[in-house]
Amino acid sequence: MCNRHSRPTSTRPCSLLGHLGIAVETAPQAGCCGALPQHLDAPEQARALARRNIDAWLPLLEDGVEALLATASGCGAHLHDYPALLAEDPVYAERARQLVEKLRDPVQVLAQEDLSRLPLRPRPQRIAVHTPCTLQHGLHLNGRIETLLESLGYQLVPVAEGHLCCGSAGTYALTQPTLSQRLRERKRAALTVEHPELIVTANIGCLSHLHDEEGPPVLHWLVLLARDLETA
């Protein structure tokens, strides 16, 4: 399922999946995953958002949809926490567990497909990959995006200190601006030391935080694939 939020990071990958024969269902009633309220110590609001999303997504999964796809790793990591968040809810605790069983990151889905079917034409660009904390430490998928991109012919540059946070850190950019900016500067220095022409990442918060008008553009890695598919 791809929902209508975070365009183009959700809508363009829907087209990408279509080229692989993966049908996409939309869930118009779904919305924010609830990570930000949880970070801001508003657990009841986070639980309310979780219940709404479960009500929107679970019927589709019960009706035969094979997976729930979270295109932002921060959202994916928080969705995995739904069972803990709703553990005391007599109605939604089990429903949350059922939802998480079908939850997938895009790199897991694409790694199972024959990507040679995609008419991709990677541009001759040097690309730096920023792996979000939520992807490598939360979802334990470190290195998977790099492996997939290299298999498709993309030229990746080495990035030092890949384990370090970019400074977005959920709500740190708002609540801890000094520390957040310090981490951002260190991360951007590590990402740009090899003079990449493009930076890709897997999380909306990281993407927004790392954006710099004077530096290389920052894209979601799925948008990169969709872009090169559209121009093939």
Residue that is last in its domain, among 91, 109, 127: 109
CA dist list (Å): 34 to 44, 63, 159, 208: 10, 25, 31, 18
Determine the straight-line distance between the first and last CA of the chain, rounded to whole angstroms: 25
**Do the strands 155-156 and 126-129 form a parallel or antiparallel pair, or are they unpaired?**
parallel
Asked whether the beta carbons of 215 and 191 are under 8 A apart, the reply is no
Residues 100 and 76 in one domain: yes
Give the containing element (helix H, strand E) for 172.
helix 172-175
Q: Are residues 177 and 96 in the same domain?
A: no
Same domain, 70 and 91: yes
Range of the domain at 161: 118-230
User: Which amino acid would we find at residue 173?
Assistant: A
Is the residue at 153 inside a domain?
Answer: yes
pLDDT of 8 over the 70 cut:
no
Nearest-angstrom CA–CA distance, 183 and 132: 13
Shared domain for 95 and 167, answered yes or no, is no
Do 125 and 210 fall into the same domain?
yes
Q: Do 78 and 133 sit in the same domain of this protein?
A: no
Q: What pLDDT, in 10s, does the model give residues 136-164?
A: 999 999 999 999 999 999 999 999 999 99
Are the C-beta atoms of residues 194 and 176 closer than 8 Å to each other?
Answer: no
Both 82 and 184 in a single domain?
Answer: no
The arithmetic mean of pLDDT across residues 59-86, rounded, is 96
Long-range contact set of residues 175-181: C-beta below 8 Å, sequence gap at least 24: 175/40, 180/209
At 94-104, the pLDDT tens digits run 999 999 999 99
Q: How many domains does the chain have?
A: 2
**Does position 4 have pLDDT exceeding 50, yes or no?**
no
Residue 21 and residue 162: Cα distance in Å, rounded?
Answer: 34
Per-residue pLDDT tens over the stretch 97-137: 999 999 999 999 999 999 998 989 999 999 999 999 999 99
**Residues 103 and 45 reside in one and the same domain:** yes
Do 165 and 224 fall within a single domain? Answer: yes
pLDDT at 14: 79
Taking the C-alpha atoms of residue 131 and residue 137, their distance in angstroms, rounded to an integer, is: 10
Q: Let me know if residue 4 belongs to a domain.
A: no
The answer for residues whose C-beta is within 8 angstroms of residue 66's C-beta and 6 or more apart is: 102
pLDDT given for residue 15 in this prediction: 80
Task: Name the E strands within 72-162.
Answer: 103-104, 126-129, 155-156
Average pLDDT on 56-82 reads: 96
Q: Which of 58, 79, 109 is the last residue of a domain?
A: 109
How do residues 162-182 score in pLDDT, each as one tens digit? 999 999 988 888 889 999 999
CATH code, domain carrying 137 = 3.40.50.1860
Q: Which of 109, 130, 149 is the last residue of a domain?
A: 109
pLDDT above 90: percentage of residues in the chain:
81
Residues 144 and 223 grouped into a single domain: yes
Q: How high is the pLDDT of residue 143?
A: 96
pLDDT exceeds 80 at position 187: yes
Distance (Å, whole) CA 83 – CA 7: 27
Same domain, 130 and 103: no
Inside any domain, residue 207: yes
Residue 91 or residue 10, greater confidence: 91
Same-domain status, 67 and 152: no
